Structure formats: C-alpha cells, structure tokens
Structure 1
Amino acid sequence: MIIIRTFGVILLLLGLFLAYGLSKDSRLMLFGSKIKADVIGIDSVKSKRFGYVHYPILQFKYKQKQVCLVNDLSSINPKEVPAHMEIYYKEGIGISDGFTVIYAVFSIISIIMIIFGIIAFRTKHVR
C-alpha cells in the first residue's frame, strides 16, 4: 500500500513540475502579443553534441520600440532561413513560438501524470 501511494505522489509531483515548466508558454499565449518578427541574422553557438546550433536573431516593434533578440528556444537551418516568424512576446516574461507539437505532447503527458498520480494516491487496497 505504501509503495502505491509513494508511486502516486511521485507521479503527481512530476506532473505538476512538468505543468509548471509549461506555464511560461501558456502565459505568453494568453497575455502576450502575437507579433510578426523579421529574421535579421543567425547566431551560431558551439554545442558539445551537435557541433553548431543556429538560433535566429529577431527584430520587431513592440510598444513603439524596436526590439532585437535571439530566439534561443528554437534552432533553424542556416540554409533555409525564414524571412518572418510568428511569435508571442511580453516584456516581463519573454518570447515563445506559441502552440507547437512539443508543447502539446508535454501538456498531455503532464495531465496524464497528474491524473494517474491522484488515482494511485487515492486508491484503497481491498482484500
């Protein structure tokens, strides 16, 4: 019985931790502004595993100011650099690509972990 409850608590905590990590993108999609940003360059960073990772340098207008930042959340192929990208931005929170497949998969995994954690924690052992 203790093993099942411990497993339930572990699943619940892992699901909540994953949901907390996804909350930044959720807040940006809810409260941020959807902006069409121009890709003005590429920032190449040496990586231990992959050689070089290429990040787009974005430039856009936000509240009558010109903002220029590196989107280090998504890498791009330097041969196929897009001219524009749709992003969500808020000054205090940061930048997000929006609702992506990775975001959807991790959201589903988080919900499943929380549900099974609650079920395992509340299950009574019947003999």
Structure 2
Amino acid sequence: MIIKKTFGVILLLLGLFLAFGLLKDSRLMLFGSKIRADVIGVDSVKNKRFGYVHYPILQFNYKQQQVRLVKDLKSVDPQNVPAHMEIYYAEDIGVSDGFTVTYAIFSIISIIMIIFGIIVIRTKHLF
C-alpha cells in the first residue's frame, strides 16, 4: 500500500514540475505582446556536441523602443533563415514562440501525470 501511495506522490510531483516549467510560456501568451520580429542575422555558437548552433538575431519595436535580442530557444538553418518570426515578448518575462507542438505535448503529459497521481493517492484498492 505504501509503495502505491509513494508512486502516486511521485507522479503528482512530476506532473506539477512539468506544469511549473510550462508556466513561463503560458504567462507570455497571456500577458505578453504578440510581435512580428525581423530576423536580421544569425549568431553562431560553438557547441561541443553538434559543432555549431545557429540562433536568430531578432529586431522589433516594443513600446516605442527598438529591441534587438538573440533568441537562444531554438536553432535555425543558416541557409534558410526566415525573414520574420511571430513571437510573444514581455520585458520582465522574456521571449517565447507561443503555442507549439512541444508545449502541447508536455501540457498533456503533465495533466495526465497529475490526474493519475491523484487517482493512485485517492483509491484504496487499485490492484
């Protein structure tokens, strides 16, 4: 019985940990501004595992100021650099792609882990 309860607590904590990690992107989508940013260049960084990683350099206007930043969340192909990117931005939070496939998958996984953790904790005779 104690093993089942421990497994339920571990599932619940892992689900809450994933949900907490997704909180930043959710806050950006709710409170940030959706901006169309121009890609003005590529910043190449030497990586031990992959050789070079190429990050886009974004430039956009936000509250009457021109902002230029390197978006180091995902790499781009230097031969196929997009001209524009849709991003969510807030000064105190950062930059995000918005609702992506990985965001959706990890949201579903965290919800399932939380639900199964609660089920395992609450039931007396599961097996």
Using structure 2 for the length normalisation, give the TM-score. 0.97
> Mind listing any 5+ residue stretches in structure 2 that lack a counterpart?
none
Q: Aligned partners of 2:32, 2:42: CA distance in 1, in Å?
A: 24
Q: Give 1:67 shift.
A: 0.3
Amino acid at match of 1:66: Q
Q: Give 1:21 shift.
A: 0.3
String of CA shifts for 1:64-113, please: whole Å, max 9, x gaps: 00000010111100010000000000000000001000000000000000
Consecutive aligned runs of 4 or more in structure 1 exceeding 2 Å deviation: none
Amino acid at match of 1:17: F
The CA RMSD over aligned residues, in Å, is 1.2
Counterparts in 2 of 1:126 and 1:101: CA distance versus 1, 3 Å: closer
Aligned to 2:116: 116
Amino acid at match of 1:97: D
Amino acid at match of 1:93: I
Q: Aligned partners of 2:83, 2:39: CA distance in 1, in Å?
A: 5
Q: Give 1:25 shift.
A: 0.2
In the comparison of the two structures, how many residue pairs are matched?
127
SS of match in other structure, 2:85: strand
Q: Give 1:125 shift.
A: 2.5
Aligned to 2:36: 36
